[in-house]
Structure 1
Amino acid sequence: MQVTWTVSPVGYQRIAKRCPACNVKRDFLPAGAFRMNSQKKRLDIWSIYKCTHCDYTWNISLFSRLPVSRINPVLYRRIMANDEATLEYFSHDDQILKRNNAVLSGSPAFHVREQWSAGHLCNKRLKVCIRLRCAFQVSLLSVIKKQLFLSASEIKRRVITGEIAGVTLKELKSTKRQTASVVIWVSAGVFYSGRKI
């Protein structure tokens, strides 16, 4: 029996940056709009971020000197409409965040979609594949807590006893951004203990 948990962020990834208006380091979030500038047949496109404490704005570069002919027409329309899903997508885009030297702050909320593959129901252990829909800061511990309805200390105890295998205590706590899937093994007793069947 295999279970797949597909984990998706809900909302924007916060960025920590010194705010010139506040004169201290603050969190910035997308302000809900893109900024676009065109010169001849080339586009510069930014996502506007705003300090969560004041109204100071900061632009993150998405595209620079991009020929108009090379932009996807659907993406162009979404940018022109300040589409929320597109803003959220870019707030988690690893390449763009790295290119803009963005320092991430905190972990966004997340949603987990659970899918089952056909198999034997009498297995003593279930193979659980955890996949991130996109790179974002989330710990395996948070995902497992949410899905198994167990406390952090209970999960750590189950890892030590081997009832949850394939992950170390250090890996459980890490919020390192990754897109690769992780496979863990969970005893049937632990998997079903907190669930209403």
Structure 2
Amino acid sequence: MSELRAPVDRKALWVVRELGLPAVIRPCVSCRADRHHATGKFRVNASGKLLDVWLLIGCDQCDRTSKIPLHERIHVQALDHRRLLAYEANDPTMIRRVVMDSGLAGRCGHRLDWAGAWTLDTDTPFYDGEPLEVFVRFELPAPIRVVKLLMAGLGLSRSAVRALPLDLPVDLDARVREDFTFLVTG
């Protein structure tokens, strides 16, 4: 953002809130549908001193349960004890963390679909043409295109957002998942 801009009297806070977990996109082995949801459970299997840990997901169409491997043939001592207890207890915080892990998605060959997983709370439902400074806070690390956030927050179409005089720290088409501030200059 520009260091020489005039102070803006109008400020707004936008908060990206969680509505649910993202969908896991990968083909179902039974019905070939591609959307899955987290079942809220892990499966931990021990064979001697070796462990296998999977996240269980269910197909949205046929409800078949599938597994996403988290640890395979790992020695019991190599896994943090608190993490193992969280897996065994089906800890909701651990489920959330694992489902939202884009690195895991890449390693396991699936994608995450964040559509319907977030909402934008804002105190500025429509843009009225006046300069406005907006603070965007993420309670959910969903990768969202900046243009989509502005469309939702300002109540404008994509073309109207693209026509606005904006002072953004990132490109309008970039995906963001961390807090940032921008300015609508008028």
Quick check: TM above 0.5? yes
Question: Deviation string for 1:29-54 (max 9, x for gaps)?
Answer: 11221111123333221101111011
Which of 175, 182, 185 is the aligned partner of 1:184?
182
Distance 1:40 1:34, change over 3 A: same
Aligned to 2:160: 157
Aligned to 2:128: none
Aligned to 1:65: 73
Aligned partners of 2:150 and 2:161 also within 8 Å: no
Question: Deviation string for 1:83-120 (max 9, x for gaps)?
Answer: 22321221110111111010333524225578xxxxxx
Aligned to 2:104: 96
Aligned to 1:7: 16
Corresponding position: 1:55 with 2:63: yes
Question: Matched residues, percent identical?
Answer: 20
Flag structure 2 segments of 5+ consecutive residues without an equivalent: 1-7, 123-130
Distance 1:3 1:87, change over 3 A: same
Flag structure 1 segments of 5+ consecutive residues without an equivalent: 115-123, 190-197
Which residues of 2 match residues 137-156 of structure 1 at below 5 A? 137-148=143-154, 150-151=155-156, 153=157, 156=159
Question: Deviation string for 1:123-170 (max 9, x for gaps)?
Answer: x542x454545643433344334444x13x1x64254130x3327885
> CA RMSD for the aligned pairs?
3.4
> Which SS does the other structure have where 1:20 is aligned?
coil
Distance 1:180 1:165, change over 3 A: same
Distance 1:101 1:8, change over 3 A: farther
Distance 1:65 1:8, change over 3 A: farther
What is the TM-score with the length of structure 1 in the denominator? 0.66
Aligned positions, number = 170
Distance 1:106 1:185, change over 3 A: same
Aligned partners of 1:16 and 1:104 also within 8 Å: yes
Which residues of 2 match residues 17-166 of structure 1 at below 5 A? 17-22=26-31, 24-105=32-113, 107-111=115-119, 124-126=131-133, 128-130=134-136, 132=138, 135-148=141-154, 150-151=155-156, 153=157, 156-162=159-165, 164-166=166-168
> Which amino acid counterpart does residue 182 of structure 2 have in structure 1?
I
Distance (Å, rounded) in 2 between the aligned partners of 1:88 and 1:112: 20
> Which amino acid counterpart does residue 35 of structure 1 have in structure 2?
R
Aligned partners of 1:94 and 1:135 also within 8 Å: no
Aligned partners of 1:107 and 1:138 also within 8 Å: no
> Which SS does the other structure have where 1:18 is aligned?
coil
> Which amino acid counterpart does residue 161 of structure 1 have in structure 2?
L
Distance (Å, rounded) in 2 between the aligned partners of 1:170 and 1:181: 15
What is the TM-score with the length of structure 2 in the denominator? 0.69
Distance (Å, rounded) in 2 between the aligned partners of 1:105 and 1:74: 29
Aligned to 1:121: none
